[in-house]
Amino acid sequence: MLKNYLKLAFRTLVKDKFYSLINILGLTIGVTCGMLLLLYVTDELSYDRYHQKSLPDLPHCFVYPRAGQDQ
């Protein structure tokens, strides 16, 4: 059964070269974009994970009091 599917796929690749090229190129671009997006999201989510006592709920900025104000 699998052998027949592979034969049919190969015949289609040989018969319709331009259509097959467009399909393979689109699949390649889609998989590449998906992998790059996954890498970007993984990197953004692991920004402060290397600290043992990191607090993910704190903002990544500091607020300094003005002169004459209490903290």
Taking only the tens place, the pLDDT of each residue in 35-47 is 999 999 998 887 7
* Weakest-pLDDT range from 18-22, 24-28, 34-38, 54-58: 54-58
What's the confidence (pLDDT) of residue 53? 63
CA distance 60 to 44: 13
CA separation for the pair 33, 5 (Å, rounded): 28
Q: Are 48 and 54 in contact (CB under 8 A)?
A: yes
Domain ranges of the chain: 16-45
Asked if the model's pLDDT at residue 25 lies above 60, the reply is yes
Question: Alpha-carbon distance 24 to 9, whole Å?
Answer: 12
How is residue 62 written in tokens? 């500091």
Q: Which two tokens stand for residue 32?
A: 């590449």
Q: Read off the pLDDT band of 32 (50, 70, 90).
A: very high
